[in-house]
Amino acid sequence: MNRIIRINIFLFYLIIFSLRANSGPNPDSMNTCKERLPNEINSYQPVLVPLLTPDGRRIYYDRKWHPKNINSTNDQDDIWYSDRISQGIWSEPKNLTELNTFDSDVLFWISPDGRIGLVYGIYSDKHIQKKQGFSFSEYDGNNWSKPESLNIKNFYNDSLHFYANLSADGKILIMSVSRKDAVGGLDLYVSFLNEKTQEWSAPLNMGKEINTKGNEETPYLAYDNKTLYFSSNGYKGEGEQDLYFSRRPDDSWKRWSKPQNLGKGINTKFGEQGICLTALGDSAIIVSYDSVSKRKGLYWICLPKEAQPEPYTIVSGDINIKNNNDKITDVNIFVNDLPEQKIRIGLLKNYSIVIPEKKIYKIRVEAENFSTGSFEFDSRDIKWPQIIKYDFNLEQIKNINEKFIIYFDTDSYELNEENKKIIDEFYKEYRKNKIQISGYADETGTEDYNMILSMKRAKQVRDYLVNKGLKIKNIQINAMGEKEPISEDYSKNRRVEIIIK
């Protein structure tokens, strides 16, 4: 049974990231707002890759050669983070010790729900030095798990430098690495996840429309899955390294529009590197410089309208499980024909789904032995990115071992329309549960015949439920024949009982 706490459709501005740009189409006129982040974050530099969580409450970044890195000033990169306390005020940075080693440590991507992170390197058991590659780590609300490596076919990198980013669904990997087929130094490559084998395809060079004889670095793929941001020193720009954006015109990952410079309002003569968009894609965090502070740091910028991603929808909220006392519960989220998403509800109760296409969607949330929640929305007419806030409330099913009885006509095992309606209602509420189906017959006929007839009745109900989507492994069937009559009225004994286990 679905319980709705609230539903709000709103444009979500991340407190300090709330202004929109109104620049013209000429890249040279892309003057826009730009503000250095507070000194709590910018007190120590250099930093290369900023990463803002989609809810805007935490910012991750790497710090080079910091005395409090795991390997002190010999440590090339450690991951640090700061939490937003209130508007414009951030906590003192903390070292993310669980993911940091003596080697270079960088967090390149975080999933829309903040639960999965992509980090550089393949971690050793001793957690000191790493091999080249990339790994996933999972955050449970308190701790990050030991990173598990991505299995990428024919992966190698001929450079000591590296960058990466992922699509919102975590299935498309963009890398900045140096390989034999590179156009220049560091090129942008793409790799795709095979969901059956959990193997990533060999890196595919994204082509000369993107890559130059210089270096293309710090890729960031917007939630629309079409707009790519990156830094490059291979184009004629404002400084030694500028930020650019380009779009895919079709489903290919080798065809791109001509990269556009983000303009003088963002890029400087001193060079920019690293970009992470806010949830609605109208602003971003970048690594930049200004003439007042005279040193690099993290800046918030408004993105010009023409540089913003195409429309997409973020559906997010909490999954509240009544009387569960923060116990870990596995929850499945279904969205139309998109792959099933599995999350664990415990200390973290949030979910977040990014949907890049414009159409009608239905989201369904299920957990074993709990009620089901669903929500439908229409994104066909959206003109810019939007966030829909929707909370699910799941209640534990209390009627375990309750019987559902379906009656049959004399000497029949066919389901009539009334029977189908009963089974349909049962399926809506209990499709995640394990069940027992027992078939019965009246005393008419021989015992052997009645045993066969009762099995046919049980199988008929089972097959109907399986065709609707109930997993056959969750169904146990029994043939009871004329045993256990419940009434002298034969019509009450020609039945199938469904018991929730």
Does 427 score more than 70 pLDDT? yes
> What is the rounded CA–CA span in Å between residue 270 and residue 279?
28
Could you tell me the two tokens for 64? 């080079």
> What is the rounded CA–CA span in Å between residue 423 and residue 470?
11
Residues 188, 327 within the same domain = no
Does 14 score more than 60 pLDDT? no
AA letter at 482: E
The beta-strand segments (E) located in 178-288 are 187-194, 199-200, 204-205, 216-221, 227-232, 242-247, 260-261, 275-277, 283-288
Predicted pLDDT of residue 1? 32
- What burial letters (b/e) apply to 231-251, b meaning 16+ CB within 10 Å? bbbbeebbeebbbbbbbbeee
Could you tell me the two tokens for 259? 């990269």
How many Å separate Cα 476 from the centre of its chain? 35
Binning pLDDT at 50, 70 and 90, where does residue 344 land?
Answer: confident
Whole-prediction pTM value? Answer: 0.76
AA letter at 384: W
Give a yes or no: residue 10 inside a domain. Answer: no
At 20-30, the pLDDT tens digits run: 333 333 333 34
Residues 372, 418 within the same domain = no
Predicted pLDDT of residue 161? 92
Last residue of a domain, one of 263, 285, 307: 307
> What is the rounded CA–CA span in Å between residue 105 and residue 201?
24
Predicted pLDDT of residue 370? 82
> What is the rounded CA–CA span in Å between residue 317 and residue 307?
28
Q: Are residues 248 and 256 in contact, defined by beta-carbon separation less than 8 angstroms?
A: yes
Average pLDDT (433-439) is 92
Q: What's 55's domain CATH number?
A: 2.115.10.20
Binning pLDDT at 50, 70 and 90, where does residue 289 land?
Answer: confident
> What is the rounded CA–CA span in Å between residue 213 and residue 217?
13
Last residue of a domain, one of 263, 290, 307: 307
Does 7 score more than 60 pLDDT? no
Residues 231, 324 within the same domain = no
Does 8 score more than 80 pLDDT? no
Give a yes or no: residue 370 inside a domain. Answer: yes
Residues 325, 277 within the same domain = no
Q: Are residues 298 and 286 in contact, defined by beta-carbon separation less than 8 angstroms?
A: yes
Does 337 score more than 80 pLDDT? no
AA letter at 46: P
Average pLDDT (217-238) is 97
Does 400 score more than 70 pLDDT? no
Which percentage of the chain shows pLDDT scores above 70? 90
Predicted pLDDT of residue 487? 85
Tell me which long-range contacts 173-178 makes (C-beta under 8 A, separation of at least 24).
173/134, 173/200, 174/206, 174/219, 174/221, 174/228, 175/134, 175/203, 175/219, 176/215, 176/216, 176/217, 176/218, 176/219, 176/230, 177/203
Residue 196: strand, helix, or coil: coil
Predicted pLDDT of residue 336? 84
Residues 208, 332 within the same domain = no
The beta-strand segments (E) located in 27-157 are 34-36, 50-52, 58-63, 78-86, 89-90, 94-95, 107-110, 116-123, 130-138, 148-149, 151-152
62-66, 229-233, 395-399, range with greatest mean pLDDT: 229-233
97 strand-pairing partners: none
Task: Measure CA of the first residue to CA of the last residue in the chain; give whole Å.
Answer: 18
Could you tell me the two tokens for 39? 């000194």
Predicted pLDDT of residue 127? 61
Predicted pLDDT of residue 10? 32
Which percentage of the chain shows pLDDT scores above 90? 65
Predicted pLDDT of residue 153? 98
At 290-315, the pLDDT tens digits run: 877 778 899 999 999 999 999 999 99
**Enclosing domain of residue 383:** 313-394
Does 228 score more than 90 pLDDT? yes
Could you tell me the two tokens for 4? 């709705």
Residues 39, 170 within the same domain = yes
Give a yes or no: residue 1 inside a domain. Answer: no
Residue that has been written with the tokens 């955050």 in this structure: 139
Residues 57, 38 within the same domain = yes
Give a yes or no: residue 21 inside a domain. Answer: no
Does 31 score more than 80 pLDDT? no
The two beta strands, 151-152 and 199-200, are parallel
Q: What's 323's domain CATH number?
A: 2.60.40.1120
Predicted pLDDT of residue 206? 98
- Domain count along the chain: 3
Give the chain's radius of gyration (CA, Å). Answer: 28
Residue 217: strand, helix, or coil: strand
Residues 121, 170 within the same domain = yes
Mean pLDDT, rounded, of the chain = 88
Residues 65, 159 within the same domain = yes
Residue that has been written with the tokens 């095992």 in this structure: 413
Alpha-helix runs per DSSP H in 237-308: none
Predicted pLDDT of residue 3? 32
Predicted pLDDT of residue 324? 67
Last residue of a domain, one of 307, 329, 345: 307
Residues 203, 320 within the same domain = no
> What is the rounded CA–CA span in Å between residue 158 and residue 162?
10
Residues 262, 113 within the same domain = yes
Q: Kindly give, in sequence order, each residue whose CB lies less than 8 Å from that of residue 121, ignoring residues fewer than 6 positions away.
A: 101, 103, 104, 105, 130, 131, 132, 133, 134, 135, 147
Predicted pLDDT of residue 19? 31
* Low-confidence winner among 131-135, 139-143, 222-226, 337-341 (lowest mean pLDDT): 337-341
Residue that has been written with the tokens 């709705």 in this structure: 4
Give a yes or no: residue 98 inside a domain. Answer: yes
Predicted pLDDT of residue 26? 37
Give a yes or no: residue 64 inside a domain. Answer: yes
The residue ranking higher by pLDDT, 192 or 339, is 192
Q: What's 482's domain CATH number?
A: 3.30.1330.60
Is the preceding peptide bond at 385 cis, omega within 30 degrees of 0?
no
Residues 277, 324 within the same domain = no
Average pLDDT (470-488) is 91
342 strand-pairing partners: 332
At 123-147, the pLDDT tens digits run: 987 666 688 999 999 999 899 999 9
